[in-house]
């Protein structure tokens, strides 16, 4: 739901009449627009100014602007927000315009941009425009390039979006706490030339930020001093299955822009496709310097922009390859129980705690379908139900859902992929056939000849006799 609030309280009006905004000749603050939900919004078709092909912010939205004498004016408010991390869990974060992350800002190379930043946090803040070329005094480093923005005040940033690319914004004031609380957003500058040879048009252009939170089960506010052991690894402050799918038509060119504002690197991995890294927050990569990948590591404070051709229909996983980052609210103090016989101890504990479940003796998969009661406001480590059963993943995971014949601009989740008959991995129930030996089939085998045999072929035993 979009809620429109008029900022002109009496205090605001008084500030306007004598405050900073007069210095830039602005007669009024642009209307403040906020959103409170986490549904992915359709791309914001540019209502005025120069046209471009807009992005889709995963579980987010793009901030509308107004044109004022040729300047694109935005109004950002830094404020406490409630963010649903996934159905069943909410977090009390700090963010912008009703959400964490804040709305995406989309402009065109060469646009003059004026951003009004109102601080409704209980403490001072600033915004740093990560990756932009701008006048030093607009760079947002509290104490160095500007005073802090005190609670209740509005400051104005103004600069020309000089170069196209994918950028971020975040505070440079009490930043460990403010970023651990979720204060960040994305900034896309589209190329002035729609036929820019290094920035090709994409049919689907997605963007999201990587962030991490440490929220104890049963509580709502992140522990802001955590350095590495976060328990919620998020894209746009959401975890799977709360992260929406990225939808594309078969044959579409997909661009995905990702920025990392966590405390560690994230190797992002795609299934069934290859992609090319076409840009960073430093700008587009020259074509001769690009190479194919299926995983791209995104370092802290970096942006990576990848492009791929949707070559095959399906529900293709796209995820961080650090396996701990596709888990939700996990404790790192849990002992490894693989191979441990817990039967005796379970009997003893169950006499004291009837709900007790011994877990992990044969691995961790029993967590996937776990029905153990959870404390309030947390998520199972692995969650989600797919067409073939429970999904053993959470955290930084989404699906790229590729379908034939999707209309341009159709971003509705198409549901689960209907696999053509005979195209799904299946159980083998037949007999095992012995492999021929080198003596029996000398022309086919490359095994060592008898006498220097190093490989023993088990015959007829199946897989029971290791
Ligand atoms: Cu990761």
Ligand 1 centroid – CA 450 distance (Å): 49
pLDDT value at residue 109: 96
Q: Cα of 404 to ligand 1 centre, how many Å?
A: 31
Cα of 233 to ligand 1 centre, how many Å? 7
352 phi and psi angles, rounded to 5 deg: -95, -40
Reading the chain (466 residues) residue by residue, the pLDDT tens digits are 444 443 333 333 333 333 334 444 456 899 999 999 999 999 999 887 788 999 999 999 999 999 999 999 999 999 999 999 999 899 999 999 999 999 999 999 999 999 999 999 999 999 999 999 999 999 999 999 999 999 999 999 999 999 999 999 999 999 899 999 999 999 999 999 989 999 999 999 999 999 999 999 889 999 999 998 899 999 999 999 999 999 999 999 999 999 999 999 999 999 999 999 999 999 999 999 999 999 999 999 999 999 999 999 999 999 999 988 998 765 545 555 566 676 776 676 666 666 555 555 566 565 555 555 667 777 765 567 889 988 878 899 999 999 999 999 999 999 999 999 999 999 999 998 888 877 777 676 655 555 555 555 555 444 443 4
What separation in Å is there between the alpha carbon of 321 and the centre of ligand 1?
Answer: 6
Cα-to-centroid distance, 380 and ligand 1 (Å): 18
Which of residues 366, 393, 419 is at a domain's end?
366
Q: Of 172, 204, 236, which closes a domain?
A: 204
- Per the structure, the complete domain to which residue 162 belongs is given by 2-204
- Phi and psi at residue 392, to the nearest 5°: -85, 40
Asked, for residue 360, whether it belongs to a domain, the answer is: yes
Contact 154, 131 (CB under 8 A): no
Q: Ligand 1 centre and the CA of 413: distance in Å?
A: 25
What does the pLDDT read at residue 440? Answer: 79
pLDDT of residue 264: 96
Q: Ligand 1 center to residue 281 CA distance, Å?
A: 19
Distance (Å) from CA 325 to ligand 1 centroid:
5
Q: 265 CA distance to ligand 1 centroid (A)? A: 6
Residues 340, 199 share a domain: no
Residue 441's pLDDT is 75
Residue 372, domain member (yes or no): no
Gap from CA of 119 to ligand 1 centroid (Å) = 31
* Ligand 1 centroid to residue 437 C-alpha, Å: 46
pTM for this predicted structure: 0.83
From the list 175, 3, 187, the residue with the least C-alpha distance to 94 is 175
**322 part of a folded domain:** no
- What pLDDT shows up at residue 426? 95
Q: Is the dihedral of CA 339, 344, 346, 348 positive or negative?
A: negative
The CA 83 to ligand 1 mean position distance, Å, reads: 20
Residue 148 sits in a domain of what CATH number?
2.60.40.420
**Is 302 inside any structural domain?**
no
Q: Report CA(263)–ligand 1 centroid distance (Å).
A: 10
- The rounded distance, in Å, linking the Cα atoms of 172 and 72 is 23
CA of 210 to the centre of ligand 1 (A): 8
Centre of ligand 1 to C-alpha 184, Å, is 18
Neighbours of ion ligand 1 (CB under 5 A): 266, 320, 322, 325
Domain boundary among 204, 223, 246: 204
Report yes or no on 379 lying in a domain. Answer: no
419 assigned to some structural domain: no
Whole-number pLDDT of residue 9: 36
153 neighbors 119 (Cβ within 8 angstroms)? yes
Residue 216 lies in a domain: no
Give the distance (Å) from ligand 1 centre to CA of residue 213. Answer: 12
Write the secondary structure of the chain as one string of H (helix), E (strand) and C (coil).
CEEEECCCCHHHHHHHHHCHHHHHCCCCCCCEEEECCCCCCCCCCCCCCCCCCCCEECCCCECCCEEECCEEEEEEEEEEEEEEEECCEEEEEEEECCECCCCEEEEECCCEEEEEEEECCCCCECCEEECCCCCHHHCCCECCCECCECCCCEEEEEEECCCCEEEEEECCCCHHHHHHCCCCEEEEEECCCCCCCCCCCCCEEEEEEEEEECCCCCCCCCCCCCCCCCCEEEECCECECCCCCEEEECCCEEEEEEEECCCCCEEEEECCCCEEEEEECCEECCHHHCCEECEEEECCCCEEEEEEECCCCEEEEEEECCHHHHCCCCCCCCCCCCCCCCHHHHHHHHHHCCCCCCCCCCCCHHHCCCCCCCCCCCCCCCEEEECCEEEEECECEEEEEEECCCCCCCCCCCCCCCCCCCCCCCCCCCCCCCCCCCCCCCCCCCCCCCCCCCCCCCCCCCCCCC
Distance 177 CA to ligand 1 centre (A): 20
Is residue 362 included in any domain, yes or no? yes
- Dist CA 12 CA 100 (whole Å): 24
Spacing, Cα 324 to ligand 1 middle (Å): 7
Distance of CA 261 from the midpoint of ligand 1 (Å): 11
CA of 182 to the centre of ligand 1 (A): 17
Whole-number Å distance, alpha carbon 266 to ligand 1 midpoint, is: 4
Number of domains in the chain: 2
Q: How many whole angstroms from 296 Cα to the centroid of ligand 1? A: 11
Query: Are 97 and 63 contacting, i.e. CB atoms less than 8 angstroms apart?
Result: yes
200 and 335 co-located in one domain: no
């Amino acid at each position: 739901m979009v809620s429109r609030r008029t900022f002109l309280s009496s205090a605001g009006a008084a500030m306007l009449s004598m405050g900073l905004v007069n210095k830039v000749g602005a007669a009024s603050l642009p209307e403040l627009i906020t959103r409170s939900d986490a549904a992915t919004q359709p791309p914001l078709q540019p209502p005025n100014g120069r046209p471009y092909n807009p992005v889709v912010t995963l579980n987010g939205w793009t901030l509308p602007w107004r044109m004022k004498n040729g300047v694109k004016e935005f109004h950002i408010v830094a404020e406490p927000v409630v963010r649903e991390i996934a159905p069943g869990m909410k977090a009390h974060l700090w963010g912008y315009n009703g959400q964490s992350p804040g709305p995406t800002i989309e402009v065109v190379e060469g646009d003059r941009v004026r951003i009004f930043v109102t601080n409704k946090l209980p403490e001072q803040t600033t915004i740093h425009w990560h990756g932009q070329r701008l006048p030093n005094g607009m760079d947002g480093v509290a104490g160095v390039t500007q005073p802090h923005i005190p609670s209740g005040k509005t400051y104005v940033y103004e600069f020309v979006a000089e170069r196209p690319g994918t950028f971020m914004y975040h505070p440079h004031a009490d930043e460990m706490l403010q970023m651990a609380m979720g204060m960040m957003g994305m900034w896309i500058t589209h190329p002035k030339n729609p036929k820019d040879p290094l920035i090709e048009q994409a049919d689907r252009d997605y963007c999201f930020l990587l962030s991490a939170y440490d929220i104890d089960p049963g509580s709502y506010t992140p522990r802001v001093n955590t350095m590495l052991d976060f328990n919620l690894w998020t894209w746009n402050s959401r975890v799977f299955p709360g992260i929406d799918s990225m939808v594309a038509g078969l044959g579409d060119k997909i661009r995905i822009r990702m920025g990392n504002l966590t405390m560690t690197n994230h190797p992002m991995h795609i299934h069934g496709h290859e992609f090319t890294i076409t840009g960073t927050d430093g700008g587009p990569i020259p074509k001769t310097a690009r190479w194919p990948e299926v995983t791209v590591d995104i370092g802290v404070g970096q942006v990576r922009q990848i492009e791929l051709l949707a070559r095959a229909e399906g529900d293709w996983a796209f995820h961080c390859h650090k396996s701990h980052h596709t888990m939700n609210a996990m404790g790192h103090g849990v002992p490894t129980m693989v191979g441990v016989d817990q039967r005796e101890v379970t009997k003893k504990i169950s006499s004291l705690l009837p709900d007790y479940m011994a877990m992990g003796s044969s691995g961790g998969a029993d967590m996937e379908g776990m029905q153990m009661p959870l404390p309030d406001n947390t998520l199972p480590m692995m969650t989600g139900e797919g067409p073939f059963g429970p999904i053993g993943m959470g955290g930084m995971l989404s699906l790229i859902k590729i379908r034939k014949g999707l209309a341009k601009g159709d971003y509705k989740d198409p549901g689960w992929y209907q696999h053509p008959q005979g195209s799904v991995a299946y159980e083998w129930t037949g007999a095992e056939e012995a492999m021929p030996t080198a003596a029996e089939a000398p022309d086919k085998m490359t095994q060592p000849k008898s006498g220097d045999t190093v490989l023993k072929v088990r015959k007829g035993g199946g897989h029971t006799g290791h």
